[in-house]
Amino acid sequence: MSTQKKKKRFEVLHNESIEQCLERMKKEGYMPVRRTEEPIFHEVEKEGKTIIEPCGRTIVFEGKLFDA
C-alpha cells in the first residue's frame, strides 16, 4: 500500500514555469485537479497612511494521486 497522500498542493516556484511545476507533479505521481491564484500584498506608505496593495500572485495546483 502506498504511503503517499491522496491530495497534495504544489506551488509554482519563482524560478519555474507552470509547465515545469506540472512536470514535477507528474514525476511525483499526481495529476492536477484544481488551480488557484493567491494574491500577494505589501504595505505602502502614502501621504502618511499605510495602504495595502497587491504586488503579485502565487499559483497553486492541487494534485490528486494517480490511481494505480
* HEC readout, 2-68: CCCCCEEEEECCCCCCHHHHHHHHHHCCEEEEEEEEEEEEEEEEECCEEEEEEEEEEEEEEEEECCC
For the question of whether the overall pTM of this predicted structure is more than 0.85, the answer is no
The predicted-structure confidence for 37-68, as pLDDT tens digits, reads as follows: 999 999 999 888 999 999 999 999 999 998 75
Question: What are the cell numbers at 25?
Answer: 507533479
Residues sharing a CB contact under 8 Å with residue 21, sequence separation 6 or more, in sequence order: 10, 11, 12, 13, 59, 61
Q: Where are the domains of the chain?
A: 7-65
- The pLDDT of residue 30: 96
